[in-house]
């Protein structure tokens, strides 16, 4: 079955859920927090792509840190395996059970705790949906430091646990820089209060970073404090086409030099992505329909001076066209045009899953080599599957999507391990921003040394000695 071809054996050391367990959970969470209804549990068992399916019998919906703590302490004492779940938009099968793990979804913990509107520091519970947080802080004159296509469903706790990158990374950097504090519940129920709101604090090891990107394998994030940048008044979005990949690269360098202080996104997609978006997304139209170009780039600028910023972007585009880097281009004249441009870029994932089967690879590769893998994959696969390349070019992050009507072991055998070996050979990363989940737990060695994996396993054993948190994910079974 596609990228999950080899079945993972259930670890018999885990207990099997029984009716006493369910009664205990009801005594802690009440009837509404303990879901056994088959339809609701079925939804929580399947990931966003419909690719990874677990067989959990139980979905728990805690409403407070204390409830999470009691649930985990109990699961640890009984050795019941647990999957922490946020918005379930993850793309590597990390958010759903592999077997019968109990699902603990944080969606009920969605309270805003405080907002410091002088320093732009937001403190909230982990189950807050990213888009709701964005709307809230924008009304206060700030923005969230991250934005992604899944914003309407993903939760800030999920974003932190995957160290999500997304569309604003080029401007505001990684969550490692923006997250100021966390509250985390460890596997044995201990509540680790690291919820500071300080910009600077060098007292010992900065433990919160262990949990940023740990994909629910070290603890359950329950509260978050995060730095939000000021909202700037002028945003412009341009949609451009380039005749070859070299022009995209040169355009990136030119944009870094020419738009440096105002650039807020630099996204690229190939022709196949535009065709896919036009075929499968409702209500979008191709901003540059006249000629079929090979590559498209979306540039967003955000700054503080409306007329200066617009003039700067226009002059940059003119120069880039004169220099032959850009074949054609258009700057959005209003919000609806700008959102059409964004909808095309953000809708590629959604359009991909509509084709049937999608093999998704999220790679960090030096920019000059980034598109080579797309072309090599195309010639390997011929007409077995369609190969698309797009992503956050400004961050050296390629999303390689391979589409076919259904999953097939033949196609998978052409893709893996080639894609991982190629990436490792170019000193890239096999996961730029989506994490490892169950898809790539056994592949970590392509990007990390044996010593690093061993140290990670030691940390996992220290904080979760019974290995109840998100088993079969992130680390290879042999390391634990």
Residues of this chain that bind ligand FAD (CB under 6 A) = 48, 83-91, 94-95, 106, 126, 148-150, 154-155, 157-159, 161-162, 164-166, 215-216, 220-221, 349-350, 433-434, 437, 470
State the minimum distance, in angstroms, from the CB of residue 53 to ligand FAD: 14
State the minimum distance, in angstroms, from the CB of residue 128 to ligand FAD: 10
Burial of 251 per CB tally in 10 Å (0-12, 13-18, 19+): buried
Q: Which residue lies nearer to ligand FAD by CB, 164 or 344?
A: 164
**23 token code pair:** 């009664």
What is the C-alpha to C-alpha distance for residues 164 and 178, in angstroms, rounded to an integer?
12
What is the C-alpha to C-alpha distance for residues 271 and 327, in angstroms, rounded to an integer?
14
What is the C-alpha to C-alpha distance for residues 187 and 62, in angstroms, rounded to an integer?
15
- Evaluated on CA atoms 240, 246, 249, 253, the torsion sign reads negative
Determine if residue 426 is left, alpha or beta; phi over 0 gives left, psi from -120 to 50 gives alpha, anything else beta: alpha
Identify whether the C-beta of residue 218 lies closer than 8 Å to the C-beta of residue 64: no
Q: Which residue lies nearer to ligand FAD by CB, 244 or 350?
A: 350
State the minimum distance, in angstroms, from the CB of residue 418 to ligand FAD: 24
CA distances to 113, 168, 270, 313, 371 from 302, in Å: 29, 11, 25, 11, 27
Task: Say which residues have a Cβ less than 8 Å from residue 473's Cβ, sequence separation at least 6.
Answer: 93, 94, 98, 215, 216, 217, 436, 437, 438, 441
Q: Which residue lies nearer to ligand FAD by CB, 126 or 385?
A: 126
Q: Which residue lies nearer to ligand FAD by CB, 312 or 434?
A: 434
State the minimum distance, in angstroms, from the CB of residue 415 to ligand FAD: 20
In angstroms and rounded to an integer, the radius of gyration of the C-alpha atoms of the chain is 23
Instruction: Calculate the dihedral angle through the C-alpha atoms of 451, 456, 458, 462, rounding to the nearest 10 degrees.
Output: 160
State the minimum distance, in angstroms, from the CB of residue 440 to ligand FAD: 12
Give me the residue whose beta carbon is nearest to ligand FAD.
158
- DSSP structure string for 400-448: EEEEESS--HHHHHHHTTHHHHHHHHTT-BSBSSS--TTTSGGGGGGTS
State the minimum distance, in angstroms, from the CB of residue 369 to ligand FAD: 21
State the minimum distance, in angstroms, from the CB of residue 281 to ligand FAD: 12
What is the C-alpha to C-alpha distance for residues 60 and 72, in angstroms, rounded to an integer?
11
Q: Which residue lies nearer to ligand FAD by CB, 60 or 317?
A: 60
State the minimum distance, in angstroms, from the CB of residue 59 to ligand FAD: 12
State the minimum distance, in angstroms, from the CB of residue 379 to ligand FAD: 28
Q: Which residue lies nearer to ligand FAD by CB, 90 or 389?
A: 90
What is the C-alpha to C-alpha distance for residues 364 and 367, in angstroms, rounded to an integer?
9
**66 token code pair:** 């204390």
Q: Which residue lies nearer to ligand FAD by CB, 162 or 247?
A: 162
Cα of first residue to Cα of last residue in the chain, in angstroms, is 26
Q: Which residue lies nearer to ligand FAD by CB, 316 or 341?
A: 341
Q: Which residue lies nearer to ligand FAD by CB, 56 or 161?
A: 161
State the minimum distance, in angstroms, from the CB of residue 76 to ligand FAD: 15
What is the C-alpha to C-alpha distance for residues 383 and 405, in angstroms, rounded to an integer?
12
Q: Which residue lies nearer to ligand FAD by CB, 184 or 262?
A: 184
Residue 386: its H or E element: strand 386-392
Q: Which residue lies nearer to ligand FAD by CB, 175 or 374?
A: 175
State the minimum distance, in angstroms, from the CB of residue 357 to ligand FAD: 16
Measured at the alpha carbon of residue 361, what is the angle toward residues 168 and 103, in degrees to the nearest 5?
80
């Amino acid at each position: 079955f596609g990228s999950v071809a080899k079945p993972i054996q259930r670890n018999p050391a885990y207990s099997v859920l029984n009716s006493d367990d369910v009664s205990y959970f009801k005594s802690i969470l009440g009837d509404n927090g303990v879901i056994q209804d088959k339809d609701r549990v079925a939804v929580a068992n399947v990931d966003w792509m419909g690719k990874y399916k677990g067989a959990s019998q139980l979905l728990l919906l805690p409403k407070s840190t204390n409830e999470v703590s009691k649930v985990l302490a109990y699961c640890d004492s009984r050795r019941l395996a647990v999957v922490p779940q946020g918005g379930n938009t993850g793309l590597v099968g990390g958010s759903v059970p592999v077997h019968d793990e109990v699902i603990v979804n944080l969606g009920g913990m969605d309270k805003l705790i405080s907002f410091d509107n002088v320093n732009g520091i937001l403190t909230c519970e982990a189950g807050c949906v990213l888009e709701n947080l964005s709307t809230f802080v924008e009304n206060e004159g700030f923005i969230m430091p991250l934005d992604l296509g899944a914003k309407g469903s993903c939760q800030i706790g999920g974003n932190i646990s995957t160290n999500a990158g997304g569309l604003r990374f080029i401007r505001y950097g990684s969550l490692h820089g923006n997250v100021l504090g966390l509250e985390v519940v460890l596997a044995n129920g201990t509540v680790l209060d690291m919820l500071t709101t300080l910009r600077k604090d060098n007292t010992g090891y900065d433990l919160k970073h262990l949990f940023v990107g740990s994909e629910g394998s070290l603890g359950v994030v329950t509260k978050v404090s995060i730095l939000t940048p000021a909202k700037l008044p002028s945003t412009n979005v341009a949609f451009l086409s380039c005749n070859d990949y070299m022009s995209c690269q040169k355009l990136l360098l030119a944009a870094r030099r020419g738009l440096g202080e105002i650039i807020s996104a630099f996204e690229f997609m190939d022709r196949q992505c535009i065709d896919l978006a036009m075929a499968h997304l409702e209500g979008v139209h191709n901003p540059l329909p006249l000629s079929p170009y090979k590559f498209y780039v979306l540039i967003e600028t955000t700054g503080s001076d409306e007329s200066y910023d617009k003039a700067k972007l226009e002059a940059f585009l003119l120069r880039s066209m004169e220099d032959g880097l850009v074949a054609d281009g258009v700057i959005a004249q209003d919000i609806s045009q700008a959102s059409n441009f964004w909808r095309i870029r953000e809708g590629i994932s959604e359009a991909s899953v509509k084709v049937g089967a999608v093999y998704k690879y999220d790679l960090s590769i030096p920019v000059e080599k980034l598109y080579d893998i797309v072309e090599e994959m195309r010639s390997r696969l011929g007409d077995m599957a369609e190969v698309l390349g797009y992503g956050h070019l400004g961050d050296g992050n390629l999303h390689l999507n391979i589409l076919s009507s259904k999953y097939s072991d033949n196609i998978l055998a052409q893709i893996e391990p080639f894609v991982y070996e190629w990436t490792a050979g170019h000193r890239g990363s096999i996961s730029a921003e989506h994490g490892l989940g169950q898809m790539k737990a056994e592949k970590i060695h392509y990007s990390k040394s044996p010593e690093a994996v061993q140290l990670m396993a030691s940390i996992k054993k220290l904080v979760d000695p019974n290995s109840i948190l998100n088993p079969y994910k992130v680390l290879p079974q042999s390391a634990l």
